[in-house]
Structure 1
Amino acid sequence: MVSTRGHPKAFPEPDLTPSKSSSPSKSSTPSRARKGKWAHAPPTLAIVWLLVSLPLVAWDCGYVLLRPHSMPGGKLQWPLFVPYELYVEMDYVYGWKAYNERNGFTSAQGFLNIIESLMYVYYLYLVFTHGRKATVRRGAKATTGGFLAQRYVDGKTGALATLLVFTAAVMTLSKTILYWANEYFSGFSNIGHNPPQLILLWVVLNGAWLVLPAYITYFTGEEILQGLAGGTAGSDEAKSE
C-alpha cells in the first residue's frame, strides 16, 4: 500500500541478497536501491481541491480579464457573471472603483491565475495519465479503489509532477498573501466599508486559497526533501563502502 508519508518506504525493497557465485560489491548493492523507490503520492484532499478550485478560478479570470463587459451593466454580464454583481459591492478590487482608477492589481493577479492554472492542469494530467493507483487491502481482497483513489507517480514524471504542483501552490499562496496584505497596508480601503459579517464572509471566501495551497506546499515540500535526502544518503553510503 502506498502511503502519503515516508515515500521512500512506500514500495517493496528489492532482494539484494548476493548469490553464492558472486560477492557483494559497490556496483551490485547500490545504496539507492536499498532505500527503496521514491514516488509522489498526492493526497486525495489536494486532488479534490484542484478539481473544485480550477473551474472557480477560470470563472474569476474570465470576469477580471473581460472587464468592463463582464461587470454590472456590461454586455457579457448575463448570465455567467451575474453573481459578481453582489461581490463587487463587497470588494472594490473587483468593482468600478478599481477599474476607474486603472488599478492594475486586479488584472495582474488574474493573469497569474492563468499561469498557475495551466501548471495545475498539467499536473493533474500527469497524475491521472501516468500515475498508478495504490493498492488497498480490505480483508482478503485487494482493490485499487475508484476514480479518486490515491495514486502515485514515480521516476522522472513523478519528479516533474511534484515540482509543478509545489511551484504552483507557492505561487497561489504568495499571491493570496499579497492580496490580503494589500488590504491591510491600504487601511482596508476596498473592504473596510462592509459590516463585520460581510468582512467575515470575505475572509471565509478567500481563506480557502490560503489554507489549501499552504497544505499542498507543505506536503509536496516534504516529499521533495525526502527525495533529496534519500539521494544524499545514497551518495554518502556509496562513498563509505
Structure 2
Amino acid sequence: MAWAHTTRLPILIWCLWAFPFTIWDTLYLLLRPHSLPGQKWHDSYFSHVFAIWASVDHIYGEEGWRNKSGFVLAQSAINVTEATLYMVYIWIILRSGSQISASKWRIGGRTGAWAVLVGEVAGCVTATKTAMYFMRECFSGFKYTGHNDWRPFLVTWGGMNLLYISTSMYMIWTFSNDILNGLERASMANSRESQPSKYKKGG
C-alpha cells in the first residue's frame, strides 16, 4: 500500500481555532495602549479574555507596554507565522486531499509530503515559542506573573501554556510518525528492488 497522510481531528480543530485567536491576540498587542483594559477599544473588541490575561501576566498589560518589552511583540510575530502555517496545512488538505469520513482526509504523494512537512514545522514553531514564553518568566524571577496567587497562575497562565505545549507536542509526534513511516516504506521498497532475483531466466 502506498504511503499517505491521514488527518487527525484534534489537529484540524486546533488549526482552525488557533488562526482567528492568534490574529485577535496580535491585534491586541499591536494596538496597545488603546486595547488595554480601561482604554477606548478594550471593551468593544478585547474585553473579558484579555482583561483576565493582562491581570495575570502583566507583560500583556500596561506595565509591559510602558516597559517597552519587545519579547511579547517578537512572540506575536512568531504567532502569525505559526498560524499562517496552520492555514497552509488546512489549505493543502482541503484542496488536494480525499475525504474518507466526516472528519478525515487522506492525501498522498508529494502533496501529502508537503502537508506533513508544513504540519511538522508548525508544531515545532509552536512548541519552541511556548517554551521560550514559559522560560522567559522562569529566568526573570517571574517578573510579570509573580504577583499572582497560585490558583489563577496555574489555572490561567499555566493552563494556557499547557494547552499550547501539549497540542504542539502531539502535532510533532503525529507528523514525525508520518515522516518515519514514509521513509521506512521507501527504504523497504528500495531494498526489495536491489535484491537479485532468486531465479535465472531460462534460455
TM-score, normalization: structure 1? Answer: 0.76
Please name the residue that 2:74 is paired with: 108
Are 2:172 and 1:217 aligned?
A: yes
Residue in structure 1 matching 2:36, options 71, 75, 100: 71
Please name the residue that 1:10 is paired with: none
Structure 1 residue runs of 4 or more that deviate by more than 6 Å after TM superposition? none
* One-letter identity of the residue aligned with 2:20: P
CA distance in 2, matches of 1:115, 1:81: 22
* One-letter identity of the residue aligned with 2:128: S
Q: SS at the partner of 1:52?
A: helix
Are 2:21 and 1:56 aligned?
A: yes
Larger radius of gyration: 1
Tell me how far 1:54 sits from its aligned partner: 2.1
Please name the residue that 1:172 is paired with: 126
Tell me how far 1:216 sits from its aligned partner: 0.8
* One-letter identity of the residue aligned with 1:165: G
Please name the residue that 1:140 is paired with: none
| Paired residue total | 194
Q: How does 1:1-241 map to 2 (within 5 A)?
A: 36-83=1-48, 84-134=50-100, 144=101, 146=102, 149-201=103-155, 202-241=157-196
CA distance in 2, matches of 1:185, 1:38: 44
Please name the residue that 2:200 is paired with: none
TM-score, normalization: structure 2? Answer: 0.90
CA distance in 2, matches of 1:86, 1:150: 36
2:15–2:83 Cα contact (<8 Å) kept: no
Tell me how far 1:75 sits from its aligned partner: 3.4
Q: Runs of 5+ in structure 2 lacking a partner?
A: 197-203
More helix as a share of residues: 2
CA distance in 2, matches of 1:238, 1:66: 60
Tell me how far 1:129 sits from its aligned partner: 2.1
CA distance in 1, matches of 2:69, 2:113: 39
Q: SS at the partner of 2:106?
A: strand
Q: SS at the partner of 1:79?
A: helix
CA distance in 1, matches of 2:182, 2:91: 22
CA distance in 2, matches of 1:112, 1:51: 17
Q: SS at the partner of 1:78?
A: helix
* One-letter identity of the residue aligned with 1:176: T
Q: Percent identity?
A: 30
Q: SS at the partner of 1:207?
A: helix
CA distance in 2, matches of 1:65, 1:117: 17
Tell me how far 1:119 sits from its aligned partner: 1.0
Q: How far does the alpha carbon of each residue in 1:41-80 deviate from its partner, in whole angstroms, 9 at most, with x for none?
A: 1211111122222222221111112222221243332311
Q: SS at the partner of 2:161?
A: helix
* One-letter identity of the residue aligned with 1:236: S
Q: How far does the alpha carbon of each residue in 1:104-153 deviate from its partner, in whole angstroms, 9 at most, with x for none?
A: 1000000111111111101101112211122xxxxxxxxx3x3xx21111
Tell me how far 1:164 sits from its aligned partner: 0.4
